[in-house]
Amino acid sequence: MIIRAFVRLVCVVAVMLVPCIPAGCRRPGPEQVQGYVEGEYVYVASPLAGTLESLYVQRGAQVKVGDPLFMLEDEPEKAAVAEAAQRLAQARATLEDLKKGKRPTEVESIEAQLRQAQAALVLSQEELARQEQLFSGGAATSQTLDQARAARDQDRQRVAQLEADLKTAQLGARSDQIAAAEANVRAMEATMARAQWDLSQKRQAAPQTGLVFDTLYRSGEWVAAGRPVVSLLPPENIKVRAFVPETRIAAIGPGDSVQVSVDGLSEPIMGKVSFISPRAEYTPPVIYSRESREKLVFMIEITFEPKTAARLHPGQPVDVHLEP
């Protein structure tokens, strides 16, 4: 009876002592280090300020590239686009007008005047020929001959003038005026492109596929220029950060495969070392002794395939096995 009571007492004490041994008190092996899941977020913002008119996503939603995220009030930008379109149309019309000659009715008027002058020239030439015959026969004076010759010359100059006016009427403006008008059209096109870009920036879409990690504003709130409205977490931006002792860091290189154990997953997942910090963390004030060097740790980052990374969540503690 005494022996049986003693055995029962030993069992009770053992059961009471078991909960007092925390799981975290077990030291990890030399090839296992601790770490945590970290995410690099993509903050989507508009370069222009405005009231948040529509928010198309909620936290926790999955979005693809090009899916709409939010829209800001865009009435000022729409007005700017309309104004730029009118100015561009005006500049193009001015350029086309400069390239053209005068109106058809104006050209017809000059042509009619030219025909009239040509008829007058024919008449004055005939009159001059007649006066020359009379003068050679002594029936006309030299003064009459000079008057007929002057009339012929005047009519000839009038015909030359109208011919030049007709060519000018059929041409456009001067080349420098046309070049200036073309430059003005290009400037208006640039203004139009800028106004359209401003309008498009009031609507933001997902630049990458991923999880909507958070929404930072509500509909109706004023959003300053450049302030993020939605934060995304693409799967490829999820990584694990672990801290490797100084005694092990020399054996690790970028591209090395490691196993990562995560609570809730029955099997470890595979990842690759993508970054090794060039600086030690938690550096003690004295590092001359071997005991002090063993306190040094270096941060490493581990990346995964997007499908694997999608199973991880920022903040999760993990165990990293340096040698599978």
Task: Please tell me the total number of residues recorded for the chain in this structure.
Answer: 324
Going from the C-alpha of 302 to that of each of 34, 141, 219, 271, 299, the distances in angstroms are 12, 118, 38, 6, 10
- Asked if the model's pLDDT at residue 287 lies above 70, the reply is no
Lowest mean pLDDT among 5-14, 107-116, 149-158, 268-277: 5-14
CB-based contacts of 253: which residues, under 8 Å, 6+ apart? 273, 276
Q: Report the pLDDT value the prediction gives residue 171, as an integer from 0 to 100.
A: 67
Specify whether 213 is located in the same domain as 277.
Answer: no
Question: pLDDT confidence of 294, banded at 50, 70, 90?
Answer: low
**210-241 pLDDT per residue, tens:** 999 999 999 999 999 999 999 999 999 999 99
Do the domain assignments include residue 5? Answer: no
Q: Report the pLDDT value the prediction gives residue 24, as an integer from 0 to 100.
A: 42
**62-74 pLDDT per residue, tens:** 999 999 999 999 9
Lowest mean pLDDT among 16-25, 57-66, 255-264: 16-25
Residue 153 contacts residue 205 (beta carbons within 8 Å): no
Torsion angle of alpha carbons 111, 114, 119, 122, nearest 10°? -140
- Asked if the model's pLDDT at residue 191 lies above 90, the reply is yes
Q: Report the pLDDT value the prediction gives residue 4, as an integer from 0 to 100.
A: 43
Specify whether 187 is located in the same domain as 110.
Answer: yes
**Among 82-91, 138-147, 272-281, 314-323, which range has the highest average pLDDT?**
82-91
**What are the residues facing 258 on neighbouring strands?**
271
Question: pLDDT confidence of 133, banded at 50, 70, 90?
Answer: confident
Neighbours of 209 (CB within 10 A): 16
Do the domain assignments include residue 212? Answer: yes
CB-based contacts of 264: which residues, under 8 Å, 6+ apart? none
- Asked if the model's pLDDT at residue 77 lies above 70, the reply is yes
Q: Report the pLDDT value the prediction gives residue 13, as an integer from 0 to 100.
A: 40
Do the domain assignments include residue 107? Answer: yes
Q: Among positive and negative, which fits the CA dihedral 105, 107, 108, 113?
A: positive
**Among 78-82, 154-158, 245-249, which range has the highest average pLDDT?**
78-82
Q: Tokens 């100059």 correspond to what residue?
A: 157
Specify whether 162 is located in the same domain as 242.
Answer: no
pTM for the model: 0.66
Specify whether 223 is located in the same domain as 303.
Answer: no
Query: Where in the sequence is the domain holding 66, given as residue range(s)?
Result: 43-73+204-233
Q: Report the pLDDT value the prediction gives residue 291, as an integer from 0 to 100.
A: 58
The span from the CA of 227 to the CA of 52, in Å, is 12
Task: Residue 285: give its domain's CATH number.
Answer: 2.40.30.170
Q: Report the pLDDT value the prediction gives residue 173, as an integer from 0 to 100.
A: 64
Specify whether 209 is located in the same domain as 67.
Answer: yes
Average pLDDT, the chain: 83
Q: Report the pLDDT value the prediction gives residue 85, as an integer from 0 to 100.
A: 96
Question: pLDDT confidence of 290, banded at 50, 70, 90?
Answer: low
Specify whether 118 is located in the same domain as 49.
Answer: no
Specify whether 229 is located in the same domain as 240.
Answer: no
Specify whether 148 is located in the same domain as 96.
Answer: yes
The span from the CA of 283 to the CA of 293, in Å, is 9
Question: pLDDT confidence of 293, banded at 50, 70, 90?
Answer: low
Residue type, 176: D
What is the total count of domains within the chain? 3
| Closest CA relative to residue 47, chosen from 208, 198, 205 | 198
Phi and psi torsions of 149, nearest 5°: -70, -40
- Asked if the model's pLDDT at residue 246 lies above 70, the reply is yes
Task: Residue 222: give its domain's CATH number.
Answer: 2.40.50.100
The span from the CA of 211 to the CA of 316, in Å, is 17
Pick 6 or 302 by higher pLDDT: 302
Do the domain assignments include residue 271? Answer: yes
Largest CA distance in the chain: 181
